[in-house]
Amino acid sequence: MKRARIVGTGMAVPEKVLTNADLEKIVDTTDEWIVSRTGIRERRIASEHEALSDFALPAAQRALEMAGIPGDEVDLVICATVSPDTPFPATSTQIQAAIGAAGAAAFDISAACTGFIYGLGIANQYLRAGGAKTALVVGGEILSKFTDWTDRNTCVLFGDGAGAVVLRADGESESGILGVSLHSDGHLGHLLQRPAGGSRRPPSLRDLEADQSFIKMRGNETFKVAVRSLAEVSDEVLKAAGLAHEEVDWFIPHQANLRIIEAVGRRLEIREGHTYVNIERYGNTSAASVPIALDELNRAGRIEEGDIVLCAAFGSGLVWGAGLFRW
């Protein structure tokens, strides 16, 4: 059977940098608290006029450019996001039109911070089964627009941006996706959510005034489930591929909290220096965090041919997943 291979990566983030010192002026917090509890030092924030596609599109174009593939060869466009330009039409269709992927299948998926891994899993199935030849998977988020800037529990955590990969079906290559494992537990949906703005509670002034249209998180409870789930799903995808933990050359975890990343790395016994961390510069960019990290590593030339790369993410739903590939 054909294997889905990543042939290009790209990313784009807003120019505006919001530092912890800036946040000290907005809410009752300190740089010391944010750095010691999360590892975040600064994050990128979209301007008033910028939306998801302003970053998703350049990220996609950079991935296509690296792959040397024209947009019209893409026959599947997936955009993973919970902060699309508009509730509908899907942002993936804006990307599809802008890159000239005429007639391609295009849809958005909602799996919060795990969205990119879900997108990877879907694209993998399409490419292996012959339903598509060239897939573009974008993970992007502009959560700053749905953040309550008076809530110190959440406003210090998130950042905006997008990352993208181009995947090709390849019958010859040893490299490519070795496995993707995806899971969910909807019983825990209340831990991390935007209560209003959907059909249960359509946009209303009352909800806006009660701050119900913004992100709400029970951080501490989410933290505990995150560590356990990320370790379990990473273990699962490695076992399914018949690989040992010490064979992982790069572990790219979702960048939600440095303490989560370190705890998972310890549980998985990832070799020292083989976990990629950039949370200090971007904060938690949700669906964008794994593809942004992957693109940074790739462009820095730090992933070598044949390297085993493990990605894992966790988020609202709750949903979690891991993807494993040979570079």
Residues that bind ligand UT7 (CB under 6 A): 29, 33-34, 37-38, 113, 152-153, 156, 219-220, 222-223, 226, 256-257, 260, 284, 314-315
Nearest-approach distance from CB 238 to ligand UT7, in angstroms: 21
Contact 65, 305 (CB under 8 A): no
- As a whole number of angstroms, the distance between CA 280 and CA 175 comes to 31
Distances (CA, A) of 315 to 114, 248, 285: 6, 23, 11
Nearest-approach distance from CB 71 to ligand UT7, in angstroms: 31
Q: Which is nearer to ligand UT7, 195 or 219 (CB)?
A: 219
- Residue nearest to ligand UT7 according to CB distances in the complex: 219
* 3 state SS for 197-260: CCCCCCCCHHHHHCCCCCCEECHHHHHHHHHHHHHHHHHHHHHHHCCCHHHCCEEEECCCCHHH
Nearest-approach distance from CB 75 to ligand UT7, in angstroms: 31
Beta bridge partners of 250: 309
158: DSSP letter: B
Residue numbers annotated as active site = 113, 254, 284
Nearest-approach distance from CB 12 to ligand UT7, in angstroms: 20
- As a whole number of angstroms, the distance between CA 193 and CA 216 comes to 5
Looking up tokens 């971007």 gives: 282
Q: Which amino acid is at 132?
A: A
Cα 171 to chain centroid distance, Å, stands at 28
Nearest-approach distance from CB 155 to ligand UT7, in angstroms: 8
Looking up tokens 């041919």 gives: 305
Q: Which is nearer to ligand UT7, 39 or 121 (CB)?
A: 39
- As a whole number of angstroms, the distance between CA 100 and CA 88 comes to 20
Q: Which is nearer to ligand UT7, 139 or 315 (CB)?
A: 315
